[in-house]
Amino acid sequence: MIQNGNINRKWYSGMLTNEDWWSVWLGLAMVILGLFSLAGLDLVGWIASPTTWLDPAQGVVVSGEAYKGLNPVLSIIITYAVFTGLTTLGAVAMKWDVKKYFLGFTILFVLTWIIWYVGHNAYLAAMSTQHDKFGISWSLSMGGGASYLLALAVGLIIGNLFKGFAGFLQEAAKPEWFIKTAIVYLGVKLGIKCMEASNYALELALTGAAATFAAYLIFWPLCYVTCRKLFKLPREWSAVLSSGVSICGVSASVATGGAIRAKPIVPVVSAIMVVVFTIFLIVALPPIYTATLSNEPIVAGSATGMTVKTDGADAATGAILDEMMVAKAAEQGQYWEKGWILTASIMTKIWIDMFIGVWAFILAILWVGKVERGPGQSKVPKSEIWFRFPKFVIGYLIAWFIYIGIAAFAPDLTESAKIGAASVQGPMRHLFFMLTFVAIGVITDFSKLKGLGRPALSYAVCQFIIIPPIALIIAYIFHSGMTVPGAN
């Protein structure tokens, strides 16, 4: 039955009922708790995270100095209770199946923590410079990247070999929600980094914006022409696939589908292709860029942001790339600060995300006025731009600017601000990254590509042949010569 209660018409629609807004609330809740360190209270230091280990008993550390006496197992239980409570609250507000969500999230959390911990085994994670420390003669030197790849592998095994179990977990496997929350936490990291290297962060932001703009102007028309001329796809398919492959994946597919009023099946098929094809990039790009661009880390990060679709997959690829490039630099005696390469990939993606609304609005006007004229006079409400705006960016910017503000207006408080920030932008962000990796794997079912024919082929040609080299060239033009600041 048709119900008009499901139309999104107010500017505040969805504030309590969609994941995008809930990533803002979940993100900012922890950012605000972290700020209590300004008053000498560490309210977020209870979180634990794995550290490189050979002795299993030494593999977990509690984040805050104030909580160093806390048993790590108790710390993990508190972490579980806090995030299960908060995300279940979100599930209730979003009217999900709460029981299924609770059980699914519990399984995901336990699975994620086990993988996270195992991935930090010294034989997988330790750098060669740490061999003496652990008394080992070899290691894969993967840093935190081992956990990420393991998480993805386990998720993919579940998603493709245990489909019943994957179906059960899907109520809780929400990679977009997890990664958007993690990106709000990343805003804290960027704020802290700005305290130390404000000009560098500004340059990264501005060049990222310019690169994104250039990419839009090249990617979309090229992909559209490829779909229309080479694969003879109809206009609506070509437009939606072009947005999916050249802008930002699922969001752009849906936004464009809506803008041109395509049948719902079009963006849905495009979204399936985005999700499935992206996995190949998560696995392939980091080793390729690490092998070939070790002197241009920011170029690699930015190119990743322009190439990999969906925020979750981009952050996942950027995180692996960051770990691999930092590890490789360390092997060569250069100690880069972790997080900047990831920041480059996410910053590029955020600019892209913010532009989706404007692009969808332009397409909507073009379609209504030029391509498909109906018997009535159609108007596209400007509110469409706001509805398409990714709300988690608001959380990211608030978190970022809070810390910039502290540095600018209360520099004496910088050190105490860093205490709370350390737990939010460190272990909490990593936990949500890990949840994202497992969740991406769980929701990716390669068999969905069967029977998609020409649309799948055209998407693959655009994604693997057209986009990567152009993204790399644009990233090189705007970011070449930018190195990563050294670790303290």
Partner 1 sequence: MRAEREVVLIHNGHHWLAEDNDIAVSAITLAELEKNIKTALGACGRYKKGETVTILLGVDTRIMPAWIRPYQSHYFNRYVTLQL
List, in order, residues 6 or more apart from 400 with CB less than 8 Å away.
187, 188, 190, 191, 194
Which residues are near partner 1 by CB under 8 A? Answer: 2-4, 6-9, 13-14, 18-20, 170, 174, 176-177, 250-251, 254-255, 257-259, 261, 263-265, 267-268, 271, 364, 368, 372-381, 384, 387-388, 443
Q: Smallest distance from the beta carbon of 165 to partner 1, in angstroms?
A: 17
Distance CA 321, CA 17 (A): 34
Closer of 143 and 175 to partner 1 (Cβ): 175
Q: Smallest distance from the beta carbon of 443 to partner 1, in angstroms?
A: 7
Helix axes 340-366, 311-331, angle to 10 degrees: 150
CB distance 390 to 164 below 8 Å:
no
Closer of 335 and 386 to partner 1 (Cβ): 386
CB distance 91 to 104 below 8 Å:
no
Distance CA 480, CA 275 (A): 30
Closer of 66 and 268 to partner 1 (Cβ): 268
Structure tokens at 71: 């048993």
CB distance 216 to 359 below 8 Å:
yes
**CB burial class (10 A; 0-12, 13-18, 19+) of residue 28?**
buried
Closer of 261 and 418 to partner 1 (Cβ): 261
Q: Smallest distance from the beta carbon of 51 to partner 1, in angstroms?
A: 33
Closer of 250 and 346 to partner 1 (Cβ): 250
Closer of 120 and 174 to partner 1 (Cβ): 174
**CB burial class (10 A; 0-12, 13-18, 19+) of residue 193?**
buried
Closer of 264 and 405 to partner 1 (Cβ): 264
Q: Smallest distance from the beta carbon of 435 to partner 1, in angstroms?
A: 15
Q: Smallest distance from the beta carbon of 242 to partner 1, in angstroms?
A: 17
Distance CA 311, CA 201 (A): 20
Closer of 174 and 328 to partner 1 (Cβ): 174
The amino acid that residue 459 corresponds to is Y
CB distance 398 to 28 below 8 Å:
yes
- 60-62 and 48-50: which strand pairing? antiparallel
The amino acid that residue 124 corresponds to is L
Q: Smallest distance from the beta carbon of 296 to partner 1, in angstroms?
A: 32
Q: Smallest distance from the beta carbon of 383 to partner 1, in angstroms?
A: 8
Distance of CA 377 to the CA centre of its chain: 40
Q: Smallest distance from the beta carbon of 22 to partner 1, in angstroms?
A: 9
